[in-house]
Amino acid sequence: MQSLYSNGFEKIYDNMYQTFIEYDDEFDFYSKIIKKHHKKNVLEIGCGTGNLAKHFINSNLEYVGLDLSEDMINLSKLKNPSGMFIHGDIATYALKKPLEATIITGRTSSYLLSNKTIHSALKSIHNNLTTDGLLCFDFIDASRFIKSIKGGKKVYHEACFENTCYFRESYMKNNDLDNFMFNWDAIYYQKTNSDPIKLTEDNSVVRAFTKNEWELFLYLNDFTLLEFIDRKSYAFDTYVVVAKKN
């Protein structure tokens, strides 16, 4: 099995997700929240290949991107040579100076599988935010999504970018996993004039959350919850959390 986030496959991810996600809308959504709370700089955790970064870099907000995949970071730097990108782990990263806002995008919260990791991540974020710093992130809503995949659910996504077309066949199922986790097995193909070319497989365990869980996680780690925003994403029912560092 080949990771979609490294060894050249990050370019396939980049091509497909530029079709899956409207990055203009993503930037408009997050930048409005940041400006509403009068923040002037932002760290994006889970910056991926830098598609959202491009919009922030071209704005009047100071931007730093962080991702666990070094290959993703390298591609972000290549696409955005004037940007600041850091290879790091959400649970252990340390910035040279705290920033006023942190956003976690692309449902990166779904890969925080253990409560211990969540507490470590929130502690790192807290330590790297200024006083009254803003935290904003999206998560898969367990109360809706887990119901939708009961017994297993097949999902098909197609994406075309720069004259190359891809498709992804996914199978999602909630088994006997803890903490509203579910299996997400996906196979990626490139379309051709004849038989499609299988590119890679991705077999992941992913976590959904309830609003009550995040309320408690935030409280225990010295954040004040400001609001939940109900926001549909391309494949999941999600909420966006807006919180403030105490």
- Sorted by sequence, the CB contacts under 8 Å of residue 117 that are 6+ apart come out as 91
Quick check: 3 pLDDT over 60? no
Number of domains in the chain: 2
Counting every residue written for the chain, the total comes to 246
Q: What is the DSSP string of 71-127?
A: HHHHHHHHH-TTS-EEE--TTT---SS-EEEEEE-TTGGGG--SHHHHHHHHHHHHH
Of 13 and 91, the structure prediction assigns the larger pLDDT to 91
Domain span including residue 94 = 10-141+209-245
78 and 164 inside one domain: no
pLDDT computed for residue 11 by the predictor:
83
pLDDT in tens, 222-244: 999 999 999 988 778 899 999 99
Q: What's the chain's average pLDDT?
A: 93
pLDDT computed for residue 26 by the predictor:
95
Q: Cα–Cα distance between 150 and 36 in angstroms, integer?
A: 39
Residue 176 is given by DSSP the state S
pLDDT (mean) for 189-215: 94
Of 156 and 11, the structure prediction assigns the larger pLDDT to 156
pLDDT computed for residue 10 by the predictor:
82
pLDDT computed for residue 7 by the predictor:
61
Quick check: 2 pLDDT over 50? no
pLDDT in tens, 105-136: 999 999 999 999 999 999 999 999 999 999 99
pLDDT (mean) for 171-188: 91
pLDDT computed for residue 237 by the predictor:
87
Residue 185 is given by DSSP the state E
- Sorted by sequence, the CB contacts under 8 Å of residue 61 that are 6+ apart come out as 31, 34, 39, 40, 41, 42
199 and 216 inside one domain: no
- Residue pair 226/214 in contact by the 8 Å Cβ criterion: no
pLDDT computed for residue 1 by the predictor:
34
Closest CA to 208 of 139, 115, 157, 159: 139
Q: What are the backbone angles phi and psi of residue 86, rounded to the nearest 5°?
A: -130, 135
Alpha helices in the chain (DSSP H): 10-20, 23-36, 51-57, 70-79, 115-127, 142-148, 211-220
118 and 33 inside one domain: yes
172 and 154 inside one domain: yes
172 and 102 inside one domain: no
Q: Cα–Cα distance between 19 and 23 in angstroms, integer?
A: 9
Q: Residue 73's domain is classified under what CATH number?
A: 3.40.50.150
pLDDT in tens, 61-112: 999 999 999 999 999 999 999 999 999 999 999 999 999 999 999 999 999 9
pLDDT (mean) for 18-44: 94
Closest CA to 225 of 238, 236, 239, 206: 239
pLDDT computed for residue 234 by the predictor:
78
Note whether residue 2 is domain-resident: no
167 and 199 inside one domain: yes
185 and 170 inside one domain: yes
- Residue pair 6/41 in contact by the 8 Å Cβ criterion: no
pTM equals 0.93
- What separation in angstroms does the CA of 149 have from each of 66, 98, 202, 234, 240? 31, 40, 18, 16, 21
Of 163 and 1, the structure prediction assigns the larger pLDDT to 163
Q: Residue 159's domain is classified under what CATH number?
A: 3.30.1300
